[in-house]
Structure 1
Amino acid sequence: MGVVKLSDAEIDLATLVEAVENGTETEIVIERDGKPAARLVPIEKPAEAPKGIRLGLASGKYPPMDFEAFQAMDAEIEKLFLGEEE
């Protein structure tokens, strides 16, 4: 872990950011008046989606529904949302 004075960090900020980005330093503490004031750390890279994930895992688990049957449920669902009894 590197410790850098604030005045030095102002001058060498690009170098410090590069050191954290490329992994030369895992974190750099910036101190003001001899006391830690800030910490410079790399941003975590987003996790990549695991390879081999297959879409459509629920295929065949639910009964098939054609467009007309799906649309026929609209009136029933609307009554449920509006609180109307049949």
Structure 2
Amino acid sequence: MKIASSTGSSPKTVNIHDAKTHLSQLILEASQGNSFIIAKAGKPMVRVVSIDQEPRPRTGMLVGVYTVPDDIDSPFQGEIEAMFGA
């Protein structure tokens, strides 16, 4: 299997042909936390990671830190209406 050399904590890169040939082994490695990149003609196309490694959504991370008033658009209501011809 042709694998690009990796330095540090960079994931290994595998070309598409080798990824198809060794898919079972690569999936096993990814499920154990060793993500990898599939490349086409040397250009990285996709990163394969374990489901456990997927980034978690950041929605709501500042809940309670800031409050948005119900009338947030009121101070600029005239300007907004002028911009949109309302």
Larger Rg: 1
TM-score, length of structure 1 as denominator length: 0.47
